[in-house]
Amino acid sequence: MPTLTIELPDAVYSALIQHSPADLTRQLRLALACQWYAQGEISQGKGAEIAGLSRAEFIDECAKRYIPVGQYSPDEVLEELRRA
């Protein structure tokens, strides 16, 4: 698995020092996965994989962040409405 390194200004890191490096890593992976999912760049499954969660847990985390969890395109929604 590739490794990424993030440099944080000392003032930012000192504000986060109460978190362990493992906890910060988990939080960053979850935040990135949620952001990429919200932008439509990845699926729920990939988001869950990046965040190290089950798909259901990832959906719950997205919902907590008010990120819509439906995976329908506008065309799919229109098609469903036509069939109704």
What residues does each domain of the chain span?
Answer: 10-83
The pTM of the full predicted model, rounded to 2 decimals, is 0.77
Q: What percent of the chain has pLDDT over 90?
A: 50
Q: Which position has the higher pLDDT, 7 or 53? A: 53
- Is 62 within 8 Å of 50 (Cβ atoms)? no
Determine the pLDDT at residue 55. Answer: 94
Per-residue pLDDT, averaged over 52-66, amounts to: 96
Q: Which two tokens stand for residue 9?
A: 């200004």
Give residue-wise pLDDT tens across range 2-23.
888 888 898 888 888 888 889 9
- The H-or-E segment that residue 13 falls in is helix 10-15
Determine the pLDDT at residue 38. Answer: 94
